[in-house]
């Protein structure tokens, strides 16, 4: 993330990053190593192409796109960009992180063990109840697809686990890279 900001500063370009994934965990105050950066990016087409070339040359792993909502079949809850919180502002660049409830939705979309562990850690960190999470998920416009069924199943299991074991932190190994 810092490399993106330094590069934007060096080029005098305006850059907006809405960080998701493992880097978000760090920004929420939950240490978790990650080897890549996943973010929604807002910048000019020319700068985007320069940045992608620069990051590849430096050997960075990244997934940067202008619409994270389309990274999966299940969309993020409506209004996620407006709820995103600014965590850093340098020159013309701004870094935001998803609202914790939107982050949980993003993690449940994919549903692998690391994602579920991250979602649980964020729910505990921000004292989010299963009711808070379930209410927030009503902001999702679900498509008619098999993925909707799978998402809702993961959500139900996640919420039941949170209610049944409200104070049990995620496993220790979930805080490191896999």
Side-chain half-sphere exposure of 34, counting CA atoms within 13 A: 22
Same-domain check for residues 138 and 153: yes
- pTM here is 0.87
Question: Average pLDDT of 104-119?
Answer: 93
174 pLDDT above the threshold of 60: no
Query: Looking at the 3D structure of the chain, how many domains does it have?
Result: 2
Task: List the domain range (segments joined by +) for residue 13.
Answer: 2-99
pLDDT value, residue 175? 41
171 pLDDT above the threshold of 60: no
Q: What is the pLDDT of residues 32-71, one digit of tens each?
A: 877 788 999 999 999 999 999 999 999 999 999 998 777 7
Same-domain check for residues 69 and 145: no
Q: Show which of 54, 81, 99 is a domain's final residue.
A: 99
72 pLDDT above the threshold of 90: no
Same-domain check for residues 69 and 90: yes
Same-domain check for residues 77 and 151: no
Question: Average pLDDT of 94-105?
Answer: 97
Question: Average pLDDT of 136-164?
Answer: 95
Q: Show which of 64, 99, 134 is a domain's final residue.
A: 99
Top pLDDT among 127 and 36 is at 127
Same-domain check for residues 146 and 79: no
């Amino acid at each position: 993330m810092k490399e993106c900001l330094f590069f934007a500063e060096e080029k005098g370009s305006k850059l907006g990053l809405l960080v998701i994934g493992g880097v978000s965990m760090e920004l929420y105050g939950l240490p978790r190593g990650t080897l890549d950066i996943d973010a929604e990016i807002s910048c000019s087409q020319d700068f985007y192409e320069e940045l992608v070339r620069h990051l590849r040359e430096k050997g960075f792993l990244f997934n940067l796109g202008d619409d994270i909502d389309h990274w999966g079949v299940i969309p993020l809850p409506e209004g996620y960009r407006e709820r995103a919180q600014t965590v850093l502002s340098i020159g013309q660049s701004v870094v935001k992180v998803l609202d914790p409830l939107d982050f949980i939705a993003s993690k449940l979309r994919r549903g692998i063990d690391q994602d579920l562990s991250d979602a649980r850690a964020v729910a505990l960190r921000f004292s989010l109840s299963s009711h808070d999470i379930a209410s927030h998920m009503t902001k999702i416009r679900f498509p008619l697809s098999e993925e909707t069924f799978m998402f809702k199943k993961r959500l139900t299991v996640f919420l039941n686990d949170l209610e049944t074991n409200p104070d049990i932190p995620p496993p220790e190994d979930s805080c490191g890279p896999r």
